[in-house]
Amino acid sequence: MNAEISMSELKNDRFLKALLREPVDRTPIWMMRQAGRYLPEYKATRAQAGDFMSLCMNPDLACEVTIQPLERFPLDAAILFSDILTIPDAMGLGLYFETGEGPCFKKIIRTEADVQSLNVVNTESDLDYVLKAVKTIRRELNGRVPLIGFSGSPWTLATYMVEGGSSKDFRHVKAMMYDTPEVMHQLLDVLAKSVIDYLNAQIKAGAQAVQIFDTWGGSLSDVAYREFSLKYMQQIVAGLIREHDGRKVPVILFTKGGGQWLELMADTGADALGLDWTTDIGSARGRVGNRVALQGNMDPSVLYASPATIRTEVKRILDSYGQGSGHVFNLGHGIHQFVDPDHAKAFVEAVVELSPAYHG
């Protein structure tokens, strides 16, 4: 079967419609990190793969874990199983994962010479395993729900590359940003061009919407966010394929901690903005109006509470957003690894059961 299924064969398109603020019968829902460590079947497949990157680089296993949550929950979208740090890895930085410490790099970017040694990623040759995974997932989904592709934002990728992994104080990347802004701009520019190539290749391979994860944008000051994060996400949005296979390809921007910049984010031309749980979705809707759809934004920690409490919080967020389309229900960040899958099920089912009252 051709990996690129025509729009007429997409059985459930309410996610794509909501991103474009078109009428839907209920609020669509998916979860960031919905294929992940909270699911026992994911842990079994990861053990079979050997390690995280081996799982990412095996298209059949990446497809298997992408589809696992759809077998459990009535979700409205699948998201490609991969990692935001595939681009730096393809640039030769040597990504690996330390148990309990998260992602690390064998090579760290600290100097102008380091930055000048980097080349724009050619996705077709450097990240072909990602494209094989996208094609495999599209084939196996067979039009069941849309597939989301994604990338990290340039600022977020740069943060990991300069720090060498996760960071609490961002001392190296912020020192580079403030001391040698021209070097930081060189790094962000090569990353933005790489992200454009990467996301466009995912779209051509079959991704039907794309999300840019700006995980660390909220660590920046107002002025720095505009110059070092938002500017490059705008460059990416401007460079993306926005229509493919007879259908618009919506773009979602998500800056964790970015609630103060929603109007500026809407100015980029993105179709939707992701919200973390620190911003009220009703007030966000009031600020951006009909310019963009909104995605979010339940605190992932609510999933540790009882199913009844989860349902109450779902209703509160639906009430806050109000009537009409343009809302994609999600968590305000990725689902935590210690969440009971039955609580995730209660969350998804609450959205499915309660949200039709807000439409039609």
Q: Domain ranges for the chain, please list them.
A: 7-358
Q: What are the two backbone dihedrals, phi and then psi, of residue 120, each rounded to the nearest 5 degrees?
A: -60, 135
Binding site annotation covers 160?
Answer: yes
Do strands 243-244 and 209-214 pair parallel, antiparallel, or not at all (unpaired)?
Answer: unpaired
Residues 43, 44, 46, 48: what is their CA dihedral angle, to the nearest 10 degrees?
160
* CATH number of the 7-358 domain: 3.20.20.210
The confidence score (pLDDT) of residue 162 equals 97
* Alpha-carbon distances of 209 from 81, 98, 159, rounded to whole Å: 14, 31, 25
Binding site annotation covers 35?
Answer: yes
The confidence score (pLDDT) of residue 97 equals 86
Per annotation, catalytic residue among 83, 89, 271, 276: 83
Binding site annotation covers 34?
Answer: yes
**37 assigned to active site:** yes
* Cα–Cα distance, 58 to 53 (Å, whole number): 9
Binding site annotation covers 26?
Answer: no
Non-local (6+) Cβ contacts of 166 within 8 A are 101, 102, 103, 160
Non-local (6+) Cβ contacts of 182 within 8 A are none
Given pLDDT bands bounded at 50, 70 and 90, which one contains residue 2?
very low
Per annotation, catalytic residue among 14, 26, 38, 160: 160
* Cα–Cα distance, 154 to 250 (Å, whole number): 19
- Computed over every residue of the chain, the mean pLDDT equals 96
Q: What is the pTM of this model?
A: 0.96
**232 assigned to active site:** no
Q: Which helix (H) or strand (E) holds 233?
A: helix 231-239
The confidence score (pLDDT) of residue 5 equals 44
The confidence score (pLDDT) of residue 4 equals 44
**198 assigned to active site:** no
Report the pLDDT averaged over residues 197-213.
Answer: 98
Binding site annotation covers 33?
Answer: yes
* Cα–Cα distance, 232 to 217 (Å, whole number): 11
* Cα–Cα distance, 321 to 166 (Å, whole number): 34
Binding site annotation covers 36?
Answer: yes
pLDDT(142) > 90: yes
**46 assigned to active site:** yes
* Cα–Cα distance, 232 to 11 (Å, whole number): 35
**160 assigned to active site:** yes
Which 8-state DSSP code applies to residue 334? P
